[in-house]
Each structure stands twice: as structure tokens, then as C-alpha cells.
Amino acid sequence: MIRRIFSSEDGSAAKFFMFSAIVWLIVGMGAGLLGALEFSFPDLTKGVAQLSFTRLRPVHVNTVAFGWLSMASIGACLYIIPALCKTKLHSEKLANFSCYLWNIGIFVGMLTLLNGYTEGREYAEYREPIDILFVVALGSVSYNLFRTLLNRTVKKLYVSVWYIMGAFFWMPIIFIVGNRTFVAMEGLNDGILNWFYGHNILGMWFTVLGVGIAYYMLPKMSGKPIWSHSLSMFGFWTIAFFYAPTGTHHLLQSPVPEWLKALAVIFSAALVIPVISVLVNFYMTMKGSWWMLTTNMPIRFVLTGAFWYLVTCLQGPFQATRGVNWYIHFTQWVVGHAHAALLGTFTFFVIGAIYYGLQRLTGQRIYSVRLVKWHYWLLLIGFFLFFSSLTIGGLQQAVGWALGYPVAQWGLVLPPMWLVRSIGGVLMFLSSCLFGFNIYMTMREKPISSELEIKVAVPIEGDSK
Ligand code: HEM
């Protein structure tokens, strides 16, 4: 057991993070699905306080955000950074230890939230001892990656290194500040601090990590260099400059200082600049290689993520403007938008990275390409149902609200939309179970021995089991 915790085998920590992430994906999605079903069948878990919606919601959000998406992205980075620096990870032992700490944090956090122990601040619901566990785990992963960077054998830093290392520089600071580890504020100031944190884990953690991973995957899989290195660096520095003060756009309907609101709106609108630079670069890199969408599954996941990135990043600046925000705030539209970012975009990016990276790390062909295709289609169709039902329902809700109709009247439009969301949720949950099974079977099989065979095995082409 101790030997496993402190394993020094190359790539073991990346695999450990990725596999743990998939387990948390299934658990977290299960909690989200149960919560969604309770909208249609309110008595479903009647009498079990732990399974009431108010407890399931934070369990779902924290498990998918920190258990799934963060761990999966860290797993990908533990593989990508050494590869780009042409060196080994500074310490596999330390990274494996960090992964154990992270898993303990998610598990204990889930139990405490189910039993009603919460700080009651969005995305920061875990209690202090768990926060401290995460600070240690996150700090040690960051330290490990920065040491790896220092040990690099190449001079020039590829754009993914900038993005990923940027994320590991910012996230510990944002996490410590946002979780009130050292600074605590009262009332409205705490709201401002909470949304500084809430929006920056999206912008300076998930976005920067996700885009960094996609910048690695696209050239690697298409076999072409990135279209413009300067444009990618321009995107990085504009994200770094514009993101930080945008959090207050979550509080436009509250009495926070007007100058803070104005700053948040202007900087949110300016975010279209890095978004366009990233997407132009992605699409131009793929020019002439779009046919790969039909044969290469990891690339299909990443490009589908890029499509949802366009959707979510067009919505974002638009809904941060005061008029639109007044209209759609507190409606189901926002829940659809939140999922377009974390599920539609970054989950698709990182799934592509796992399918690609795990084959490299294990030297093993993916167990079943057919299951990968099922995974893709169930996830995509499920998410489409989820997103469209909430977006349409949200707009109907907004009209009813704006025109002053009684809730009992416009409320009637929502139950069919919630049912469609749950159907989408069932498809997505099933897709994640297939994903988990496929990866488990892949990791069980013996590695292909020769280096040549491994290289041939990497692209997931049309061959299927
Ligand atoms: C990787 C997958 C997923 C991610 C990253 C994710 C992320 C999130 C986030 C960030 C929120 C908070 C939204 C907000 O504050 O507006 C949320 C809420 C929610 N999610 Fe998910 N989610 C995922 C999958 C699912 C699935 C499969 C379902 C099943 C239908 C689901 C159902 C819900 C529900 C019911 C809520 C609460 C919405 C409300 O408060 O009205 N999620 N999720």
C-alpha cells in the first residue's frame, strides 16, 4: 500500500489522477442526475435528508468541478508538461501522494456536504479542514510541475506550457483567497470575494488549463504546427489581463459599488478578444485536416469542445451586459450556460486528452473503439438535450418574469423542460459508465511491447473491437 502511494513509476501519477477523475465523474454525474430527477419527481427521495436537492446540488457541483474536471486536467498536465519540457516529472512519488490527498478531500467533502456541513458559498462549500487538504495537494502539484519546468532540456516554451503553468500559478492564490483561508469578510464584501473566486476558478483555472490542453492536442494529433504562436501568446496575456475583475457580473442585481459593476461588464465584454484569438488559431491549425474528425476520436472530442467553447464564450460577454443580465438572471438559462462551459467545452477537451494520453502512458491500444464512439454520441446527444431544454425554458421563464405574469402561470412551461434535461442526463450518465468501463479494461490489458507498435496504436482509427 505504502509503496503504491509513493510509487515512482513513470506516468503512474498521471494515470492515477485520470482514473480517479473518471470515478468521480460517474459519482458526480449520478448526484446531478438524481437532483435533476427530483425536479420532475419531487417525492423521489422523500424522508432521506442526505438525498434532498439542497444537499445533492453542492455534492454534484464540487465533485464534478474538483473531483472530475480538476483531477482529469491535472492528470493530463502531469503527462503534457514533462513531454513538452523533454524531461521526467520532478517527483512521481510526490504527485501520487498529492493524488491520494486530493481523493481523500473529495471523498470526505462529499460525506460532509451530504450530512449538511457546508460553508454555504458557491463552489467553496467544503469546510476549512478540507480546504487545507486541497491547498496542500494543489501546492504540491504546482511545486512538482514548476520543478519539472526548471529541469527542462528545451529552451523555448511552447504555448501550452504558458497556459498550464499560468493555471498552476494562479489557482493556489485564488483558492486560498476565495475560501477565506486567511482573509474573511462580512456581508456584501464576502459576496464580491466569493464571485471573484467563483468566476476565476472558471477563467484562470478551468479555461486556462482546458485551452492549454487543447493547444497541445490539436497540433500533436493533426501532425501540424500551431497556426500562429504569436496569436496564442496574445490570447494568453489578454486572458490574464481581462479575467480577474469579471466576477462581479454575477452580482449586477445587488447593491455592490457601481464602479465595480462597470469594470466587470467592460472586462467581460473584452473577453471576446482572447476567445476569438484561441478559436481562430484552432480552426486555422485544422485547415486542410478537418477530415480527421471522421477517423480520429480524440480529435473529435477536442473539436466538439471547441464548438461549445464558441457557444459559451459568445453567451458570456453578451449575458454580462446589464440589460440581458437583468432579463436572464435567476433563470434556467444560466444553468445551461454553466454546463456549456464545464461540460460541453472542458469536459470534451479533457476526455480527448485522456483517450490520447492513456494510450501513450500505458502503451496500450484503447480496449474498444466502438465504445469510444458510443461514449461520444451519448454524451453529445445528452448534452444537446440538456442545453437546449434549459436555454428554451430559461427564455420562457424570463419572458414571464419580465412581463409580470404570476409564477403559477409561467411555471407550467418548466416541467417538460426538466424532463428533457433528465433524459439528457440519463444518456450522459450512461456514456460516463461506458467511458469508465473502457478505460478500466484498457488499463488491465498488458502493454504492447515494442515502441513501434505503440506509435502505430496511438491514433484511434476506424478499427473496432
Ligand atoms: C461533467 C459533467 C458536469 C459538470 C462539469 C456540471 C457542472 C455543474 C455546475 C457548474 C453547476 C452549477 C450551475 C449554476 O450554478 O448555474 C451544476 C448544476 C447542476 N447540474 Fe451539473 N454538471 C455536469 C453534469 C450534469 C448532469 C449529467 C446532470 C444531470 C441531469 C446535471 C444536473 C445538474 C443540476 C440539476 C444542477 C443544479 C441546477 C439548479 O440549481 O437549478 N449536471 N452542474
Structural domain count of the chain: 1
List for the chain the helix, strand, coil content (%; round to 5): 80, 0, 20
Ligand 1 center from residue 442 Cα (angstroms): 29
Atom of ligand 1 nearest to the CA of 342: 5
Asked whether residue 123 is assigned to any structural domain, the reply reads yes
pLDDT one-digit tens code per residue, 288-301: 999 999 989 999 99
The CA-based dihedral angle spanning residues 236, 318, 246, 231, taken in that order and rounded to the nearest 10 degrees? 10
Ligand 1 center from residue 101 Cα (angstroms): 25
338 lines ligand 1 (CB under 6 A): yes
Asked whether residue 349 is assigned to any structural domain, the reply reads no
Report the Cα–Cα distance between both ends of the chain, in Å, rounded.
34
Provide mean pLDDT across the span 15-29. 97
Give CA separation, 265 vs 136, 250, 325, in Å: 34, 10, 10
Helix axes 348-362, 414-444, angle to 10 degrees: 10
206 lines ligand 1 (CB under 6 A): no
Residue nearest atom 14 of ligand 1, based on CA coordinates: 335
pLDDT one-digit tens code per residue, 351-403: 999 999 999 998 888 999 999 999 999 999 999 999 999 999 999 999 999 99
Q: Please give the pLDDT value at position 2.
A: 63
Residue 394 and residue 402: Cα distance in Å, rounded? 12
Ligand 1 center from residue 22 Cα (angstroms): 16
CB 348 within 8 A of CB 431: no
Residue nearest atom 4 of ligand 1, based on CA coordinates: 343
CB 115 within 8 A of CB 50: yes
Asked whether residue 411 is assigned to any structural domain, the reply reads no
The residues near 377 (Cβ < 8 Å, ≥ 6 apart) are none
61 lines ligand 1 (CB under 6 A): yes
Asked whether residue 13 is assigned to any structural domain, the reply reads yes
Asked whether residue 232 is assigned to any structural domain, the reply reads no
Q: What is the CA radius of gyration of the chain?
A: 22
CB 316 within 8 A of CB 345: no
Asked whether residue 290 is assigned to any structural domain, the reply reads no
Give the Cβ contact number of residue 387 at 10 Å.
22
Checking if the pLDDT of 449 tops 70, the result is: no
Give CA separation, 321 vs 40, 175, 249, 260, 330, in Å: 32, 27, 8, 13, 15
Residue nearest atom 18 of ligand 1, based on CA coordinates: 61
Identity at 162, one-letter amino acid code: W
Asked whether residue 442 is assigned to any structural domain, the reply reads no
* Residue 69, C-alpha cell as written in the block: 474536471
pLDDT one-digit tens code per residue, 203-218: 999 999 999 999 999 9
- Chain position carrying cell 466569493: 194
335 lines ligand 1 (CB under 6 A): yes
Supply the pTM of this predicted model. Answer: 0.94
Asked whether residue 448 is assigned to any structural domain, the reply reads no
- Chain position carrying cell 476558478: 201
Residue 335 and residue 343: Cα distance in Å, rounded? 11
Ligand 1 center from residue 335 Cα (angstroms): 7
Domain extent for 29: 1-155
Provide mean pLDDT across the span 106-132. 96
85 lines ligand 1 (CB under 6 A): no
Total length of the chain: 465
Provide mean pLDDT across the span 442-454. 58
